[in-house]
Amino acid sequence: MMIRIDLSGLRRTKWHDYAIRFLFGGLITAAAGLVAQRWGPSIGGLFLAFPAIFPASATLVEKHEKQRKNRAGLQGPMRGREAAALEAAGAALGCIGLAGFAFVIWQLVGVYETWIVLGGAGLLWLGISGLCWRILKLS
């Protein structure tokens, strides 16, 4: 299956959905900083992989799919749940990449330029996650 860009997804998302994601993302980033300041980087670091916006995203995916299938006269609630479960499965694969991202930064920060380490770790996240997705698709 080919990976493609579908801009219609942007039209389905309401402005308050974007606002909620911004709010959750901002809050968890600020909270991670405060936790690290109060209890140290070991505890604060845990929250760098906190599923901050996942509940909001899964709910949104479920809602959109439900509406779409209802309009087509199909079982909306059931299809909505399946789409959300698929979103969770994708996120699980993304977590493997997330661990790789963290490992690279742990080992290489301070060794190379910051932008190289962060950029390289970001690309590694995409590479590992994409590869896991591809392997799962082929199997």
Partner 1 sequence: MSFTQAETQLALINMTETFIRFVVGGLFVSAFAVLGDVLKPKSFAGLFGAAPSVALATLTLSIHSRGHDFAADEARSMIFGAIAFFVYACAVCRLIMRYKLPASIVASAAIVIWLAVAFTLETVIGR
Residue 5 interacting with partner 1 (CB under 8 A): yes
Nearer to partner 1, 70 or 102 (CB): 102
Q: Measure Cα distances from 75 to 8, 69, 78, 82 in Å.
A: 22, 6, 6, 11
In angstroms, what is the minimal distance from the CB of 14 to partner 1? 12
In angstroms, what is the minimal distance from the CB of 105 to partner 1? 4
Q: Measure Cα distances from 137 to 25, 27, 113 in Å.
A: 30, 35, 36
Positions in 7-46 near partner 1 (CB under 8 A): 7, 9-10, 12-13, 18, 21-30, 32-34, 36-37, 40-46
**118 close to 105: Cβ distance less than 8 angstroms:** yes
In angstroms, what is the minimal distance from the CB of 112 to partner 1? 11
**36 close to 1: Cβ distance less than 8 angstroms:** no
In angstroms, what is the minimal distance from the CB of 26 to partner 1? 3
Residue 61 interacting with partner 1 (CB under 8 A): yes
